[in-house]
Structure 1
Amino acid sequence: MSDEDRRDSLADQAAAWVPPWERPRPPAAEPDTADATSEVTVPSPATDDLAAQPAVQEPVSAALPGDLDRAEPDRAESERTESDRAEPGRAEPEPDEPVVGEPSEAAGVPRRQAAGRRRVTAPPEPAPELSDTELRGALEAILLVVDEPVSELVLAQVLEQPAERVGPMLDEIAAGYTAAGHGFELRRAAGGWRLYTRPEYATYVERFVLDGQSVRLTQAALETLAVVAYKQPVTRSRISAIRGVNCDGVIRTLVTRGLVEECGTETDSGAFLYKTTTLFLEKLGLNTVDELPPLAPFLPDDVEELADATR
């Protein structure tokens, strides 16, 4: 064969050559259950003389369907691990806190669904509302043991009832005692409520309590207490100027008895200021100092002349 014929033959073979990726693949053989893989031959690419040289067969491993299923998650896990290593500043996700009142992951709810939810706390159960009979009895029981007037707000907080019910119930109890003619009454004093004996039975109560022994305030103490009551807050020097005598000892006596107390200092001089106490209001049966009787009816007619004479 001449060189020219050989070139024509090679040209025809090259024109008739089909790339491997366009060739039809032979049907894959059924894998053996005993072996994990089976060899499938695929023709290798051609060299310079593709038609003249026989095709080289290369073994390719074909995985079983079950192995493919197991391989996909492993590859995804490896890719995720490599991406986490590539970001050194990336913080590890913190475990989600359980949400109160909502199903957790153990109950079948994915953690992604629970993320972002706010913690919910159950509100406290409201106290059961007392009937009128129970509320009346509870108020009477508390008022029997108190040693000082108690306000409506405190009673409402103790009984866990609205203050709108406590006030009218106290008025109803007080009216009931008065209508029934009991020897005691319920009345307001010093900003609160307390049980007191009725004035018409004061003689018998005094006889029982004092039993012949009485502790009375001196005239000087009564005058000093009156000045504090009407001029409060007031300093010792002001009280002494009004009375015309030194009243330091009397002030100490009134403070010891609990009728007068300190309430700060004067801005200019720094002297202590004094005012009456809750015990003073309780002893006099007053709710506030505004209920004190006015002084005008008790002043002499020539009070201005007396004031000018003292100057």
Structure 2
Amino acid sequence: MSDEERRDSLADQAAAWIPPWERPTPAKPEGTDEPPAAPEPSAEPEPPAAIPAGPEPVAGAEPEILDTYPRTETLQDPVGESATELAAEPEGEGGVGVPGKRGRRRPAPPPEPAPVLDDAELRGALEAILLVVDQPVSELTLAQVLEQSPERIGPMLDEIAAGYTAAGHGFELRRAAGGWRLYTRPEYATYVERFVLEGQSVRLTQAALETLAVIAYKQPVTRSRISAIRGVNCDGVIRTLVSRGLVEECGTEADSGAFLYRTTTMFLEKLGLNSVDDLPPLAPFLPDDVEELADATR
């Protein structure tokens, strides 16, 4: 057989070849239980199916699902913020609609402004407070308690004080120790003194009053200077005045290192003074021969 005849024979066989899955199933002979005869194997071997190379599966492991969808960097929400940014935000009330997440904390609403009192109500409130205070109260404290502007408190207190004076009341409103307080008028001092001191002893002795007067007019002053002015030892009297809060230490003298003493705010409160500058002058109470007495003591 020539080469051309051989090639034609092979081509005819290839064209006449039918794959096994396309071949018809042979009919089962009637009256027999034998299975149909298997088709005769073809001379030509079947081509193997192409199997993609890949890693062998591990026994017991779940099959890997390949992600065939395109990925994006961040997931945008309807308002233009990414889900990553929303997740990083601190928790707080008022979320932005992301399930399981909380959005930004909304700012607290501003406090409501305090109501402005009219002059009549402000006047009555100030009078009520001044009747119960046990020490002078400053304008700033009154403004904070009433929640009003401090610029309104000072003029209103001046107006109240002028009204008491014009009406001739037995009490007056005046500044004392940096604040405001109600006091009895000086012209009624004898009646008040009679009421307060009736059946009671004077709290301060004559020596304590003299020592307190020296400190008030000479402050700051040392113990030795007080003793020299009074002519007696004043250590015990000074301790009494310090324990009652009328006198306090205020440093030391530069030359000798001795303690200096001065009057306190309680002293101004008890006397109804705003500062030591309001003390009465000493000239009317001094004797005519004060210079001779001073020379005699030297």
- TM class, shorter-chain normalised? 0.5 to 0.7
* Superposition RMSD in Å: 4.0
Partners of 1:99 and 1:120 within 8 A in 2: no
Partners of 1:144 and 1:195 within 8 A in 2: yes
Partners of 2:183 and 2:272 within 8 A in 1: no
Q: Deviations over 1:248-271 (max 9, x none)?
A: 122123224432223344455443
Whether 2:89 is the aligned partner of 1:96: answer yes
Unaligned runs of 5+ in 2: 4-47, 53-65, 75-85
C-alpha separation in 1, matches of 2:186 and 2:288: 33
Whether 2:192 is the aligned partner of 1:199: answer no
- Residue 130 (structure 2) aligned to one of 143, 159, 170: 143
AA at the equivalent of 2:213: A
Q: Which residue of 1 aligns with 2:223?
A: 236
Give TM-score scaled by structure 1 length.
0.61
Whether 2:238 is the aligned partner of 1:251: answer yes
C-alpha separation in 2, matches of 1:178 and 1:304: 41
Give TM-score scaled by structure 2 length.
0.63
C-alpha separation in 2, matches of 1:124 and 1:133: 26
Partners of 2:170 and 2:184 within 8 A in 1: yes
SS in 2 for 1:294: coil
Q: How does 1:1-311 map to 2 (within 5 A)?
A: 71-73=67-69, 76=71, 95-98=88-91, 103-105=94-96, 107=97, 120-215=107-202, 217-299=204-286, 306-311=293-298
SS in 1 for 2:221: coil
Deviation at 1:241, TM superposition (A): 2.5
SS in 2 for 1:143: helix
Q: Deviations over 1:282-302 (max 9, x none)?
A: 232211001123334545566
Q: Which residue of 2 aligns with 1:83?
A: none
Q: Which residue of 1 aligns with 2:11?
A: none
Q: Deviations over 1:154-201 (max 9, x none)?
A: 111111211111111111111222222222221111211111122233
Deviation at 1:147, TM superposition (A): 0.9
Partners of 1:232 and 1:276 within 8 A in 2: yes
C-alpha separation in 2, matches of 1:256 and 1:274: 13
C-alpha separation in 2, matches of 1:308 and 1:135: 59
Unaligned runs of 5+ in 1: 3-55, 61-69, 81-92
Matched-pair identity in %: 78
Deviation at 1:229, TM superposition (A): 0.6
C-alpha separation in 1, matches of 2:138 and 2:105: 40
Partners of 1:149 and 1:191 within 8 A in 2: yes
Shift in CA distance, 263/122, structure 1 to aligned 2, threshold 3 Å: farther
The structure in which a higher percent of residues are helix is 1
Q: Which residue of 1 aligns with 2:30?
A: none
Shift in CA distance, 104/72, structure 1 to aligned 2, threshold 3 Å: farther
Larger Rg: 2
Deviation at 1:215, TM superposition (A): 0.5
AA at the equivalent of 2:179: G
Moved more, 148-157 or 206-215: 206-215
Shift in CA distance, 208/218, structure 1 to aligned 2, threshold 3 Å: closer
Deviation at 1:276, TM superposition (A): 1.0
C-alpha separation in 1, matches of 2:201 and 2:169: 27
Deviation at 1:210, TM superposition (A): 2.1
